Amino acid sequence: MSLVRALLTAGRSALAERGGVAAIRPFSRALAQPVRITFVDKDGSEVPVDAPVGKSLLEVAHENDIELEGACDGSLACSTCHLILDEVSFKKLKAPEDEELDMLDLAFDLRKTSRLGCQVKVSPELAGMRCQLPAGTNDMQQQ
Amino acid sequence: MAPGASSMLVRAARRALASSAATGGGAWRVCIVGSGPAGFYTADALLKGSPDVRVDILDRLPVPFGLVRYGVAPDHPEVKNVTERFTGIARDARVRFAGNVRVADGAGLTVSVDELRARYDAVVLACGADGDRALRLPGEGLRGVSSAREFVAWYSGHPDCARAGWDLSRHDTAIVIGQGNVALDVARVLTKRPAELASTDIASEALAALERSAIRRVIVTGRRGPLQAAFTTKELRELSKLDGVRLSVLLGCNADAGSHGTADDEGGALSERALAALSGEADRPRRRQAELLRKLWLESVGGGGVARQFEREIVLAFHMQPVGFEPAGVDAGARAGNGGEVAGELGAVRFERTQLSPDGRSAVGTGEYERTPCGYAFRSIGYLPSALPGVPFDARRSLVPSAHGRVLGSADAAAMPLPGLYCSGWYKRGPSGVVLSNIGDGAETAAAILADRAAGTLGARAGTDGAARGGLDAEGDGSLRALLAGRGVRPVDFAGWERIDRHEREAGAASGKRLRKVVAVEDMLRLAREADD
């Protein structure tokens, strides 16, 4: 618990330094307790965030300044919000629909536990989830 | 400190730097030619990578967004949401947009690449591919044979194709040659109920032509087999779900005779055994597409379980290589391969059946020919980038020679990069890939520019006289702004585009459409300037 608090404080002070506001919302605003999840950036750095229940991972990423593209604004028409989830969390989720898999098929660094951030909603059982940003959007040079 | 917090601090610092330096001294200038996805994503990566960069984005049209506006199908509005993102980039204080600026040889109303290079630290060619590949087959000039690219541009309201026009009311069968997503877009637009397109931003003239269309069947042909098709699973699935449209899959049999082959014939590319071989995780996209094709194929073979009413049909036909176009009124036995000029109207396309070469890379003719009557044929075999004066061009590959986004002096493998000249998007890697392919592509080109700047090699590249440099926001005599003014070119800035955009949305709302595009360049210019004049 103290570790969580330390992380939170560190996160808040970082936010305060850059004058950010809405990234970590007061708990009272959400109906359910926010859920602690961690984004793992391309360079391996970890960004723990408190994700409000019911928001999509894409929305949570944007609110926390995580560089996830989301080109089609969550309308299932691109795969720029591709995230690789940890296996345990992936299995807790309902299997993705064909339409989501069709878009994931165009994503870089596709894995077994890949999902589109816009299609996964935060729920309490996802506490502790790790969401890896795919590598490789920079490595697509073809000759 | 926790690792997460430190990376947040880094982010915070980066952002603070970016905003504080936006108006500070030490600015350096990049000019991006082309305002489609490649241009905007390259700009985005530059802005993120350098707080003091200034980016000018040029477009030959008064309106931005390239193929998002003129290539993404009207019934895919969600794909166009990315323009919101581009608008955010364009509104960055460090970015200027200048539409109505044509980059060519510097004559008349144009500006040349060399003139840009003298004024900017770096020039990025992100001007895409505005030509198309021809088949070079006998009869290609017949009336009724046209380019899918032009057809798409026409129904998207592109000024260049406004007068092209297609009378779709004369024949019941169209053939599309090629099996990429553009080919499927054409097939879908030709078969979808026009009422379903009416509320989109489709050009009014095209909608009217589709409402009068007599086309009942569209045959989409590919030289190779089902596993080599270039379309994406999403587009294929969409095609299979159209209201009132039957989708049939033919594995290399006579499309005209409607023969489908049987489940146990050599159509083995979609056999269970072939699909089982695609079991690796990396094969997942191909396996899923093959599974969908197999399902559609079995439905075609079995005639479909449920009897549905179909108004129109799309046929996906594989292993068919076109060998010539025949005019109407010629008997079925006539050969198209006489090499002579054929005049008149299209009556049929002649195909040679093919097999896959052992390595699967190419289609090999079998010597069996067939003739498919049709009134329209759309070639959809790829867009082509055009050569620009002052820029090396590899005519063989129809590409600018480049490495990691740096334009090379020639197509020679040992060629050195040309100072200060870069490319991105289709102009760099050729005409394939989706909108998001430009994210990584733009990032790579931006990284090359930033690395060259860090290495100090940019300064020596552009004009030696520092005072002569300057972009759209510079006052000096040598600035691009002064150059354009001297030639009588009046650029359209982003505010001008937003006036056009507002007009299109208002006109759309008034007529029940998402937006009603302005097609004529003169009208765009008039709307863009309403506030200034």
Are B88 and B221 in the same domain?
no
- Please check whether residue A139 touches B, CB under 8 A: yes
Average pLDDT over residues B470-492: 86
Any domain includes B460 = yes
Whether the pLDDT of residue B211 is over 60: the answer is yes
In this prediction, what percent of chain B has a pLDDT beyond 90?
66
**Which positions in chain A touch B5 (Cβ < 8 Å)?**
7, 10-11, 13-14
Query: With 80 as the cut, is the pLDDT of residue A3 above it?
Result: no
Q: Cβ of A135 under 8 Å from any chain B Cβ? A: no
pTM of the model: 0.85
Q: How many domains does one find in chain B?
A: 3
**Cβ partners under 8 Å of residue A96, min gap 6:** A104, A115, A116, A119
Q: Which of A127-131, B17-21, B129-133 has the lowest mean pLDDT?
A: B17-21
The reply to whether A131 touches chain B by the CB within 8 Å rule is: no
A23, pLDDT greater than 50: no
Of all residues in chain B, the one with the smallest CA distance to A136 is B440
Q: pLDDT tens across B105-134, in order?
A: 988 899 999 999 989 999 999 999 988 888
pLDDT at B332: 43
Q: Residue B304: which pLDDT band, with cuts at 50, 70 and 90? A: low
Residue B122 CA to residue B422 CA, distance in Å, equals: 7
- Whether residues B116 and B170 share a domain: the answer is no
The reported pLDDT for the residue numbered B99 is 98
Judged against a pLDDT cut of 60, whether residue B362 lies above it is answered with yes
Q: What is the mean pLDDT of residues B473-478?
A: 76
Q: Which residue of B has its CA nearest to A140?
A: B440
State the CB neighbour count (10 A cutoff) for residue A13.
14
pLDDT-derived band at A2 (thresholds 50, 70, 90) equals very low
Share of chain A above pLDDT 70, in %: 73
Give, in degrees to the nearest 5, the angle at Cα B339 between B335 and B345.
65
- The reply to whether B251 falls in a domain is yes
Mutation to test the B interface, candidates A106, A108, A114, A131, most B Cβ within 10 Å = A106
What percent helix, strand, coil does chain A show, rounded to 5?
30, 15, 50
Chain A nearest-CA residue for B82 = A71
Structural tokens at position B271: 């056999």
User: Are B8 and A47 an interchain contact pair (Cβ–Cβ within 8 Å)?
Assistant: yes
B85 CB near a chain A CB, below 8 Å?
yes
Q: Which residue has the higher pLDDT, B530 or A138?
A: B530
Say how many CB pairs under 8 Å bridge A and B: 125
Question: What does the mean pLDDT of chain B come to?
Answer: 87
pLDDT of residue B11: 54
A40 reaches B (C-beta below 8 A): no
**Residue A17 contacts B where some CB pair is shorter than 8 Å:** yes
For the segment B405-430, the average pLDDT, to the nearest whole number, is: 92
* Residue B431 to residue A2: CA distance in whole angstroms: 54
Domain of residue B514, residue span = 494-533
- Give the closest-approach CA distance of B282 to chain A in angstroms: 8
Instruction: Classify burial at B252, counting beta carbons within 10 Å of its beta carbon; exposed 0-12, middle 13-18, buried 19 or more.
Output: buried
Question: Can you tell me the distance from the alpha carbon of A65 to that of A47, in angstroms, rounded to the nearest whole number?
Answer: 10
Contacting residues of A for B231, CB less than 8 Å apart: none
Q: Are strands B145-147 and B131-132 parallel, antiparallel or unpaired?
A: unpaired
Q: Is B235 annotated as ligand-binding?
A: yes
- B253 assigned to some structural domain: yes
Q: Are residues B212 and B355 in the same domain?
A: yes
Average pLDDT of the residues in B168-197: 97
pLDDT class of B301 with cuts at 50, 70, 90? confident
Are residues B149 and B258 both part of a single domain? yes
Alpha helices (H) along chain A: 2-17, 57-63, 87-92, 98-104
| Domain at B442, CATH number | 3.40.50.720
User: Confidence band (pLDDT; 50, 70, 90) for B192?
Assistant: very high
B-chain CB neighbours of A45 within 8 Å are 3-4, 6-7, 10
Q: Residue B163: which pLDDT band, with cuts at 50, 70 and 90? A: confident
Give the integer Cα–Cα distance in Å for A38 and A23: 14
Closest CA to B426 of B411, B413, B444, B438: B438
Which member of B8, B281, B436 has the closest CB to residue A11? B8
Return the residue of B nearest to A65 by Cα.
B11
Residue B401 · residue B408 · CB < 8 Å: yes
Q: Phi/psi class of residue B105: alpha, beta or left (left: φ > 0; alpha: ψ in -120 to 50)?
A: alpha
Q: What is the CATH number of the domain that holds B176?
A: 3.50.50.60
Surface-to-core class of residue B6, CB atoms within 10 Å of its CB (0-12 exposed, 13-18 middle, 19+ buried): middle
Report the length, in residues, of chain A. 143
pLDDT over 50 at B369, yes or no:
yes
The predicted structure's pLDDT at residue B442:
95
B300 with B240, same domain? yes
Burial B420-457 (b: 16+ CB within 10 A, else e): bbbbbbbbbbbbebbbbbbbbbbbbbbbbbbebbeeee
Chosen for mutation from A67, A105, A115, A119 (greatest number of chain B CBs closer than 10 Å) is A105
Structure tokens at A58: 């894409």
Does B211 share its domain with B313?
yes
Q: What is the ipTM of this complex?
A: 0.80
Residues of chain A in contact with residue B289, where contact means CB-CB under 8 angstroms, are 105
Least confident of B351-360, B438-447, B461-470: B461-470
Contact check, Cβ <8 Å, B81/A141: no
Mean local confidence (pLDDT), B44-61: 96
* Within-domain flag for B312: yes
What is the band of B279 on the pLDDT scale with cuts at 50, 70, 90?
confident
Neighbours of B357 (CB within 10 A): 11
Task: Mark whether B301 and B179 lie in a shared domain.
Answer: yes
Candidates B6, B16, B285; nearest CB to A18: B16
Distance CA B88, CA B104 (A): 28
**Assigned domain for B320 exists:** yes
Nearest CA in chain A to B289: A102
Would you say B182 is a known binding-site residue?
A: yes
The pLDDT of residue B262 is above 80: no
> Is pLDDT of B139 > 70?
yes
User: In which band, very low, low, confident or very high, does the pLDDT at A13 lie, cut at 50, 70 and 90?
Assistant: very low
Q: Which of A49-53, B297-301, B309-313 is modeled with the greatest confidence?
A: A49-53
Contacts of B82 in chain A (CB under 8 A): 71-72, 78
| More confidently predicted of B106 and A27 | B106
Residues B484 and B366 in one domain: no
Contact B8 A112 (CB under 8 A): no
Residue in B11, B72, B75 to test binding to A, most A beta-carbons within 10 Å: B11
d(CA B509, CA B529): 22
Q: Tell whether the model's pLDDT for residue B315 goes beyond 60.
A: yes
Which of A17, A58, A72 to mutate against chain B (most B CBs within 10 Å)?
A72
Decide if pLDDT at B190 tops 60. yes
Q: Quickly state the pLDDT bin for B339 (edges 50, 70, 90).
A: very low
Residue of B nearest to A112 (CA): B281
Q: What is the pLDDT of residue B459?
A: 59
Is any Cβ of chain A less than 8 angstroms from the Cβ of B5? yes
pLDDT mean over A34-55: 94
> What is d(CA B167, CA B334) in angstroms, rounded to the nearest whole number?
27
Do B309 and B390 lie in a common domain?
no
Q: Are residues B84 and B224 in the same domain?
A: no
Amino acid at B289: Q
Phi-psi region of A142 (alpha: psi -120 to 50; beta: other; left: phi over 0): beta
The least confident of A83-92, A103-112, B53-62, B366-375 is A103-112
Average confidence (pLDDT) over B190-204? 96
Beta strand B95-98 pairing with B376-379? unpaired
- Per-residue pLDDT band for B335 (boundaries 50, 70, 90) equals very low
- Structural domain contains residue B135: no
pLDDT of residue B341: 55
Q: What phi and psi values does residue B429 have, to the nearest 5 degrees?
A: -110, 0
> Where residue B306 falls among pLDDT bands split at 50, 70, 90?
low
All residues of chain A having their beta carbon less than 8 Å from the beta carbon of residue B444 are: 138, 140-141
Q: Report pLDDT for A139.
A: 36
By the 8 A CB rule, do B239 and B184 touch?
A: yes
Considering only residues A87 and B431, tell me which one the structure prediction assigns the higher pLDDT.
A87
Lowest mean pLDDT of B90-104, B142-156, B440-454, B474-488, name the range.
B474-488
Classified as helix, coil or strand, B531 is: coil
**CA-based nearest residue in chain B for residue A135:** B440
B259 and B213 in contact (C-beta within 8 Å)? no
Backbone dihedral angles phi then psi of residue B330, each to the nearest 5 degrees = -100, 140
**A5 at the B interface (CB within 8 A)?**
no
State how far the Cα of B385 lies from the Cα of B246, in Å rounded to an integer.
35
User: Pick from B2, B434, B443: which is nearest to A138 by CB?
Assistant: B443
Interface test with chain A among B287, B436, B445, by most A beta carbons within 10 Å: B436
Considering the domain boundaries, does residue B136 fall inside one? no
- Residue A141 confidence (pLDDT): 34
- Selected residue with higher pLDDT from B255 and B128: B128
CB contact under 8 A, A78 and B85: no
Query: Do B402 and B452 share a domain, yes or no?
Result: yes
pLDDT score recorded for residue B469: 66
B427 has pLDDT over 50: yes
Taking 90 as the threshold, does the pLDDT of residue B521 lie above it?
yes
- C-alpha B9/C-alpha B6 separation (Å) is 5
Chain A touched by B91 (CB under 8 Å): no
Cα A17 to chain center, whole Å? 23
Residue B533 is assigned to a structural domain of this protein = yes
* CB distance A60 to A51 below 8 Å: yes
Contact map slice: B 208-237 vs A, CB within 8 A: 232-234, 237
* C-beta atoms of A45 and B1 within 8 A: no
B244 and B113 within one domain: no
State the DSSP string of B153-220: HHHTT-GGGTTT----SS-SEEEEE--SHHHHHHHHHHHS-HHHHTTSS--HHHHHHHHT----EEEE
Residue B19, pLDDT > 50, answer: no
Q: From residue B422, give the alpha-carbon distance in Å to each of B50, B120, B457, B483.
A: 17, 12, 13, 22
Cα(B83)–Cα(B68) distance, integer angstroms: 8
